[in-house]
Structure 1
Amino acid sequence: MNKSVVQSSRGKLIAAILAVLAIIAIAWWLLSGGEEAPPPPPPVPVSVMKAENRDVPHLASGIGTVESLANVTLRPQVEGVLAEVLFQEGQQVKKGQLLARIDDRPLAAALAQAQAEKARNEAQLRSAEQDLTRYTNLLKEEAISRQTVEQQEALVGQLRAAVRANDAAIAAAQVQMSFTRITSPVSGRIGLRRVDAGNLVRTSDTEGIVTVTQMAPISVVFSLPQTLVPQIQPLMNAEGGAPVIAFNRENGTRLAEGRMTMLDNQIDPTTGTIKLRAEFDNADGALWPGQFVTIQLRVGLTTGAVTVSPKAVKQGLDGSFVFRVTDGKAQVVPVTTGYASNDAIVITKGLAAGDTVVSDGQSRLRDGAPVRVAGAPKDGAAAVSEKTP
């Protein structure tokens, strides 16, 4: 009986101990959050670059149209049959080169008639002057009346005026004759021929015979925002004009380098822009009249600036910031930015040259997050490929 009591007591004791252990285990599980502590987050793969110290040009870009400095339509100035066409379409011609000839026989006949009329009047003038000399001598001897002498003097004056009129008629006929030889007023490229040899041409023909367009040098007229006028005005005093670069609008290829030559005298109130003209040598013919191009003009320069790629700078509620990488971790650094272009942005406050910043992969980053750098850090100039406007 005593033995059974003892065994029962031992069983109750063991059960109590197990219950206490279970309660302790449950309490520990609840206090620990019900799960095991999560492992630390894996490093975020990012691309980085180094902030660099360099001079940053301030570039302004605008859309422009290539315009010839001289585009001439050759129209007939006299009526006649087009006798000869001495050019080929698309040909390069020089100033003064003969391009076409109009039949000049009617004008040559008119010139000969004017010359003959002058010769007749000159002969009459010589005879009248001789008579005037005789009449004057007879008047001294009182052998003739003064009225006769005065009449002869008037006749001499009339004939002299007639000779001068003949000279004017001959000059006019010679000018008309010169119009039968059509020469190029400028050096340039011939366009499409609009009249063939053998056709009758008139001064009223609006299309003319052909056009000649100067190709070199050539100009581009482009527009920039009115806010840049104070920066552009000092550039007009630069010797030879401020340098500009023309780019292909479609693929950004550099086409030519030239100089700004003119700033318009008024701002367009409808667009808030001002027009400028730049000239290019265009010796290789890269620019073509009527072509649309992008013009890049340097309006300023920041020297010794700390720069990074625009991809490294992000915008937050408190302003601009970058992720600076220090000891394998990303650190949020507020920055103050200055001039920005397609390939660089100036950091006026917050970074120093040589700092490593994240240029790609920021979407998964948080302040203090570990990072894994993919590849070697690039400097500010090599972090992005060079772009054109």
Structure 2
Amino acid sequence: MARFVQTGRPHDSRQKTDRMATSSSSTTPPTNSTPPADSTPPAPRPRHGRRLIYLAGGALAVVLAVAFLRPHTTTTKHARTGDQPVAVATVGKGDMPVILTELGTVVPITNVTVQSRIDGYLMQVLFTEGQHVHKGDLLALIDTRPYEVLLAQYQGQLEQDQAQLAAARVDNARYQRLIRQNSVAAMTAKDQQYKVEQLEGTVKADQALVDNEKLQITYCHILAPVDGRVGIRQVDMGNYITAGQTNGLVILTQMQPISVIFTLPENDIGPVAARLRTGTPLPVDAWDSSNLTHIATGQVSVLDSQIDTSTGTVRMRAIFPNSQEELFPNQFVNARLLVNTDHDVLLVPTNALQTGPNGQFVYVVRADSTVEVRNVKVGHASDSMTVVTDGVKEGERVVTDGVDHLRDGVKVSIPQPGDATATPATGAPQGQKG
């Protein structure tokens, strides 16, 4: 039996690869894999360029970290101490004016629509639009000729009837002498007496017609009824106007003085009425509609006689000299009425007051620089200061700014004015004037 013996030298892997290549060449056309003579392999990229890029990126990262992460000196100080920076003000005593601010409207004391009392053609307009006129100034002239003709007619009728009356009086005197002599019938003398009385009535009627025509001629001259400022002319010269026509001739408004009418809540009537009964003038300041600019100062003239049940308010009128015409009719203003002034009361800045579940409170800074929550009772207030009736004492310091993260017992710091991050602290409140 024949035996096949395998030699000890293993097959070379390269021979196997050569056989596979030969097998492939038997089926695939040969290709020229020899590179061109002029082509050269690409040079390898130097490693030192990558190192430069890495170094530049690292340096940029360090610069940005220093710029954004470097803490401020004072911030580092507060972070080291852990204190909350706040602004404070000292509770002090002063005067607080009791002011009521209500919405008011500028209303002229006198506002007249100048009308014609008669019919006729408008012959002259003797004013300029926007002109200030005085009482009795001639504003316009209506054609007087028709009334002058009637006046002449009535005067002639009057003279005729006066002549008849004079003749009747002479006859009556003669009849009265004759009747005493029994020379004439009593009836004749009595009739003559009645005739005299009848003519006297006729003369009176004629005189009234004459006076009426004189009055019509007077009405042809349209005069200013009050001092004031005329507005825009409603009728031009040459038009035929009638008595009491719509819009009239012009509107005349009294500008000096002028009034402001505003409403007062019924709960505030008592103190105001008490001051008015004593004869004490109540000053009123008029501010613009935005409540930022002071316009004029006047005083209360009258309190209305009844409360409006639909609004629960009562109307008041304040008079302003308006010498420079700062106030204009129908202008909306904020009327600040000074009712009284509270003297020697505790005052705190209004922004120190906080509102919590138990009402209003303040943060009081104790001697060890910790804060204490203190409930307070407040009274009258202005834009910047508030009266405190209970809860704090004079000289105590209250927090006015930086209260967002405060709670009872937190330690705080008060930055000095030279500190870049310091918030200026409010000083001790001073007395205010209304």
TM-score for both structures, normalised by structure 2:
0.76
Per the alignment, residue 373 of structure 1 pairs with: 414
Please state which structure has a larger fraction of its residues in strand.
Answer: 1
Structure 1 stretch displaced more, 57-66 or 333-342: 333-342
Per the alignment, residue 252 of structure 2 pairs with: 212
Per the alignment, residue 89 of structure 1 pairs with: 129
State the 1:266 CA deviation: 2.0
Per the alignment, residue 320 of structure 1 pairs with: 360
State the 1:300 CA deviation: 3.0
State the 1:251 CA deviation: 4.9
Q: Is 1:113 matched up with 2:156?
A: no
Once residues 246 and 235 of structure 1 are traced to their aligned partners in structure 2, the CA distance between those partners, rounded to angstroms, is: 20
- Residue-by-residue CA offset, 1:156-184 (whole Å, 9 max, x unaligned): 11111111112211221121111101011
State the 1:229 CA deviation: 1.4
Structure 1 stretch displaced more, 211-220 or 237-246: 237-246
* AA in 2 matched with 1:342: D
State the 1:343 CA deviation: 1.8
Identity rate of aligned residues, in percent? 36
Q: Is 1:359 matched up with 2:407?
A: no
Q: Is 1:130 matched up with 2:207?
A: no
State the 1:250 CA deviation: 2.1
Once residues 263 and 387 of structure 1 are traced to their aligned partners in structure 2, the CA distance between those partners, rounded to angstroms, is: 24
Q: Is 1:57 matched up with 2:57?
A: no
Q: 1:70 aligns with which of 100, 104, 110?
A: 110
- Number of aligned pairs? 348
State the 1:316 CA deviation: 2.4
State the 1:80 CA deviation: 0.6
The 3-state SS of whatever aligns with 1:328 is coil
Structure 1 stretch displaced more, 223-232 or 363-372: 363-372
Per the alignment, residue 274 of structure 1 pairs with: 314
Structure 1 stretch displaced more, 138-147 or 201-210: 138-147
The 3-state SS of whatever aligns with 2:86 is strand
* AA in 2 matched with 1:316: G
* AA in 2 matched with 1:267: I
Q: 1:258 aligns with which of 276, 284, 298?
A: 298
Q: Is 1:244 matched up with 2:292?
A: no
- Aligned Cα root-mean-square deviation (Å): 2.1
The residue correspondences of 1:1-389 to structure 2 (distance < 5 A) are 42-239=82-279, 241-325=281-365, 326-374=367-415, 375=417, 377-381=425-429
State the 1:306 CA deviation: 0.6
Cα 1:240–1:353, aligned 2, differ >3 Å: closer, same or farther? closer
Cα 1:273–1:139, aligned 2, differ >3 Å: closer, same or farther? closer
Per the alignment, residue 18 of structure 1 pairs with: none
* AA in 2 matched with 1:348: T
State the 1:90 CA deviation: 0.4
State the 1:50 CA deviation: 1.4
Once residues 254 and 327 of structure 1 are traced to their aligned partners in structure 2, the CA distance between those partners, rounded to angstroms, is: 45
- Show structure 2 runs of 5+ residues with no match: 1-78, 418-423
Larger Rg: 2
- Residue-by-residue CA offset, 1:13-60 (whole Å, 9 max, x unaligned): xxxxxxxxxxxxxxxxxxxxxxxxxx9762212111111201111111
Q: In 1, are the aligned partners of 2:87 and 2:414 still within 8 Å (CA)? A: yes
Cα 1:147–1:242, aligned 2, differ >3 Å: closer, same or farther? same
Per the alignment, residue 26 of structure 1 pairs with: none
Once residues 71 and 358 of structure 1 are traced to their aligned partners in structure 2, the CA distance between those partners, rounded to angstroms, is: 54
* AA in 2 matched with 1:52: G
Q: In 1, are the aligned partners of 2:400 and 2:426 still within 8 Å (CA)? A: no
Per the alignment, residue 60 of structure 2 pairs with: none
State the 1:273 CA deviation: 1.8
Per the alignment, residue 30 of structure 1 pairs with: none
The 3-state SS of whatever aligns with 1:246 is strand
TM-score for both structures, normalised by structure 1:
0.84
Once residues 398 and 318 of structure 2 are traced to their aligned partners in structure 1, the CA distance between those partners, rounded to angstroms, is: 40
